[in-house]
Each structure stands twice: as structure tokens, then as C-alpha cells.
Amino acid sequence: MSPGRFNICFDYELAWGRFDKVFDEQYLARVRLTRAKIVPSLLDILDRHHLPATWAVVGHLMLRECDGTHAHLDPYRPAHFPDWFSRDCGGVDDGSSIWMARDTIERIASCSTPQELASHSFSHVDFSMRELTRERAKQEIELTRQLIVSFGQEMVSHVFPRNRKGHLDVLKEQGVQVYRIAHKEPSPRSARLTPKFKQLLAEACRFTPPLVDMVRDEYGRLGVEGGMFFSRHGYRRAIPMSSRVARARKGLDAAVKRDGTFLLWCHPGDFAGNPTAMLAGFEEVCQRATELREKGKLEIVPLRDLT
């Protein structure tokens, strides 16, 4: 029997993640904490347990400086936020920018346990929106590819911002081999509940999270769909950490029993609301994965190795 597989995937965004939806001081404080403490702490945990992970990075974070306008890019003007770069103040990163953080990506790329750098687009645009032209989608992927190459890695994987896919032909053109999207977690079919309540029910009742589905699209790229969102953002704050960890452990055990792949994904910023508890819970999951690997029952792989 083949071992199960486990992938950890971080969507690393800083301010790019939600600047078009929220930009208050509480949000910005969490962004700053993510850069200063959360990312280094996550790397320490991964390295302590010798775990590779996929870091889907917003390309702009890999810059050292920018003009704040990016006039060379094809326009992207979604109705809810038509001036996409209006909050990007540009300049040179002095170590505290919320828009650039190349030093943190250097640390990821130089981790003694190899980590994968993947694309999360250049500026966190929604690939499903009609306002995103094919040319802009191409630029978003191409710029990110060039920046990943500057760290000595090849761009193999892409994670769609907000898990909304589009422009799959561009991914093929730019050499992407595998991409990740998410889907709603299941609950009993008879339950006629809102999607958020279904997810809350799944977490509170410690339902086993779904293993991923992997399907080749019409362009031959591998689409990875599913997994568990490891977060206490929003309504998830009501869920005890013990439930979150228990579900992740069930996902690992399911991957072993079914010869499948369990994917755990999150934003480093999701840890900023309660760093001590979230980091401790994440390390518990990592410890369980390590135990299963040592028994020969589990392989821990980045997205690029799912191909």
C-alpha cells in the first residue's frame, strides 16, 4: 500500500490579501505582526520538523522597491475597487512595508528544509472577474515567475487569489503545471444551511475534512481542489483549537487509510489574531504528520510534487 500524501500550503499576501475590503488599523496591525513574527515562527516550526511546504506568494512582496503606480500593467478596475494600486504607497522597503517583504521571502527560500515558492499572482487580482483582461492575467503570472526565478526556483505551482480560477490558458503558456483552488466543505446532505453555517458545523462537530480531488483540465494542467482551511478568522473564532487540530489529524489519518492526499491551507495572517494558540495548534498537526512519516505511512510534499 502506498503512503498517503500531505501538503501544507500558505497563501502569503500581507496587505494585498484584503486591502480592497478592509483597511482599518486592526487589520494593518495584524499584517505587521504577520511579517515580523508569524512567518519566522512558521518557518521555525517547519524546520524543526523537517517539513517542506508551499508558499504561494503575491509577487509584489518579492520587490525591494516600486513606484506605487505600475503604469506598465494593463488596467484592472473591478467595480468595487477601481483604482487597484491606490493604497500602494511605493518607495523602498525599510523592513516594515506591508506591500513588500523580500527579506521574509529570502528567509523562506533559504530555509534549511526546502520550501516551494509558488505564484499567487503579482497583485492578488481575481482571475474569475471579467475586468481582468487576458493581458493583465499574463502579466500577473509572468512578473511573479520572474521574481521566483530570482530566488533560484522554477515556478511550477499557482494558487488562485480567493480560490477563483480563470485564464487557464495563461497558466499553460507561463509554464504552470499545477494549481490549487478550494471548495466548500461537506456537511450532511439533508442539512439546508448556509455555506458558512455548514462550515461551522463541520468544524464544531470535527467532521473529517475532504481529501483533495486532482483533475487534469483541458490544457493539461493539474487542478488540486479541496483540503482544510486552518484558520480562526471571522466566525471560526468560536471554534476551539482542539476541534481544529482534531480535524486536521483526521485528515492526515484519512490520507493514510485511503491512499489519498490531504491538503492544509491557510494565510500566515490567520495566525495573527491569536498567535500563541494558532502556532501551538499548527505544531501539533506537524508533529502528527512527522510521526506518520517516520512510520512510512505518509509523504509530506509541496504542490509541485503532486504532479
Kindly report, residue by residue over 112-163, the tens digit of the pLDDT: 999 999 999 999 999 999 999 999 999 999 999 999 999 999 999 999 999 9
Q: What percent of the chain has pLDDT over 70?
A: 94
Angle at which helices 241-258 and 275-294 cross, to 10° = 20
Query: pTM for this one?
Result: 0.94
Whole-angstrom Cα distance, residue 136 to residue 70? 12
Instruction: Give the pLDDT confidence score for residue 193 in this predicted structure.
Output: 56
pLDDT of 246 reads 96
pLDDT of the residue at 203: 76
Which domains are delineated in the chain?
A: 4-181+211-226+261-275+289-306 (3.20.20.370)
* 3 state SS for the chain: CCCEEEEEEEEECHHHHCCCCCCCHHHHHHHHHHHHHHHHHHHHHHHHCCCCCEEEECHHHHCCEECCCCCCCCCCCCCCCCCCCCCCCCEECCCCCCCCCHHHHHHHHCCCCCCEEEECCCCCCCCCCCCCCHHHHHHHHHHHHHHHHCCCCCCCEEECHHHCCCCHHHHHHCCCCEEEECCCCCCCCCCCCCHHHHHHHHHHCCCCCCCCEEEECCCCCEEEECCEECCCCHHHHHCCHHHHHHHHHHHHHHHHHHCCEEEEEECHHHHCCCHHHHHHHHHHHHHHHHHHHHCCCEEECCHHHHC
Convert the pLDDT of each residue in 55-75 to its tens digit.
999 999 999 999 999 999 999
- Which of residues 237 and 44 earns the better pLDDT score? 44
217-257 pLDDT, tens per residue?
999 999 999 999 999 877 777 788 999 999 999 999 999 99
For residue 184, pLDDT beyond 70: no
Does the pLDDT of residue 187 top 70, yes or no?
no
Average pLDDT over residues 25-48: 98
Min mean pLDDT across 87-91, 191-195, 227-231, 239-243 is at 191-195
- φ, ψ of residue 41 to 5 degrees: the values are -65, -40
